[in-house]
């Protein structure tokens, strides 16, 4: 099986248009707040609207941002005034949409905010009342099905079936740490890196040096956690869900951190 962590980084690298075309990601519907899933257990009917009332219906979302034959980011670019004439050699329309979504590019409609496609579960949705400046919430599970978690206190009538694997997990008898625990630590480290990088930009003097050392340490911790995740996932189904920060955001953060560390060498 291919290395899972490398697969994740590759497909979600926003600076590589070839692999980004194959990236798996998703959102929640803006009317019902449902996950737009890509597996048998979580697939729903979805309608994507633009600000002129055009719609695309999708009943079997595959996880790659395409609804009814229309790419989400390509539509985003067109909604903000971009056309084929704006493309550079080798560039695709969806690349412009991605840059717009991540604030690397401004809308052509001066004086206005970026417009985003609407993603809804209601086939009779009133798009005229929709605020197209509001982006659909990103799905951290990237359209993959996530088994429900149970609270410490729960209704006995809804008690999950006890299994040997589940008992070993609850008693801490499984070898190594659970994938879920590792991925949560990874997410917390990524968040700390983002906050530290932001603070570093505004800091001066000794505080800037202190934050740089902290950022180096966090970057090392992140690499070690990714190695631990790699080892834990080895041999398992590629669709096994990891609770990672949205991979697109992670790719941008990694680029920003590398620029900071290289700048201070």
Report pLDDT for 43: 94
CA separation for the pair 101, 207 (Å, rounded): 32
Q: Which residue has the higher pLDDT, 161 or 225?
A: 225
**Residue 243 pLDDT level (bands cut at 50, 70, 90):** very low
Q: 163-212, pLDDT tens digit by residue?
A: 655 655 555 445 556 777 777 788 788 888 888 888 888 888 888 888 88
**Residue 45 pLDDT level (bands cut at 50, 70, 90):** very high
Q: Which residue has the higher pLDDT, 60 or 110?
A: 60
Of 187, 172, 166, residue with least CA distance to 229: 187
Percentage of the chain lying above the pLDDT 90 cut: 35
What is the pTM (predicted TM-score) of this model?
0.52
What residue ranges in 59-209 does DSSP mark as E strands? 66-67, 70-71, 118-120
Number of C-beta neighbours around residue 77 at 10 A: 26
Structure tokens at 29: 């519907």
For residues 46 and 58, is the Cβ–Cβ distance under 8 A? yes
Residues 98-105, mean pLDDT to the nearest whole number: 91
CA atoms within 13 A of residue 225's CA, in its CB half-sphere? 22
SS3 70: strand
Structure tokens at 43: 């697939």
CA separation for the pair 125, 80 (Å, rounded): 22
3-state SS, one letter per residue, for 154-200: CCHHHCCCCCHHHHHHHCCCCCCCCHHHHHHHHHHHHHHHHHHHHHH
Report pLDDT for 6: 39
Residues 8-20, mean pLDDT to the nearest whole number: 39
Report pLDDT for 7: 38
Sheet of strand 118-120: strand arrangement: 55-58, 46-49, 118-120
pLDDT at 157 over 70: no
Of 258, 260, 248, 250, residue with least CA distance to 99: 248
Q: What is the DSSP letter of 133?
A: T
């Amino acid at each position: 099986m291919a290395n899972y962590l490398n697969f994740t980084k590759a497909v979600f690298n926003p600076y590589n248009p070839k692999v980004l075309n194959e990236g798996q990601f998703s959102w929640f519907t803006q009317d019902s707040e449902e996950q737009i899933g890509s597996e048998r257990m979580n697939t729903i009917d979805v309608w994507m609207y633009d600000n002129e009332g055009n719609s695309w219906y999708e009943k079997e979302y595959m996880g790659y941002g395409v609804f009814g034959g229309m790419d989400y980011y390509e539509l985003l670019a067109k909604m903000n005034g971009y056309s084929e004439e704006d493309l550079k050699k080798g560039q695709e329309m969806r690349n412009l949409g991605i840059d717009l979504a991540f604030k690397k590019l401004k809308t052509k409609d001066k004086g206005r905010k970026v417009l985003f496609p609407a993603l809804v579960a209601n086939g009779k949705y009133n798009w005229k009342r929709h605020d197209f400046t509001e982006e659909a919430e990103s799905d951290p599970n990237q359209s993959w099905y996530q088994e429900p978690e149970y609270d410490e206190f729960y209704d006995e009538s809804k008690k999950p079936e006890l299994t040997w694997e589940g008992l070993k997990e609850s008693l801490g008898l499984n070898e190594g740490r659970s994938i879920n625990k590792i991925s949560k630590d990874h997410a917390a480290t990524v968040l700390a890196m983002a906050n530290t990088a932001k603070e570093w930009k505004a800091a001066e003097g000794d505080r800037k040096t202190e934050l740089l050392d902290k950022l180096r340490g966090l970057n090392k911790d992140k690499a070690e956690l990714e190695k631990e995740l790699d080892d834990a996932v080895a041999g398992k189904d590629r669709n096994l869900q990891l609770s990672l920060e949205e991979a697109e955001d992670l790719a941008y953060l990694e680029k920003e951190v590398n620029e900071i560390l290289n700048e201070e060498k």
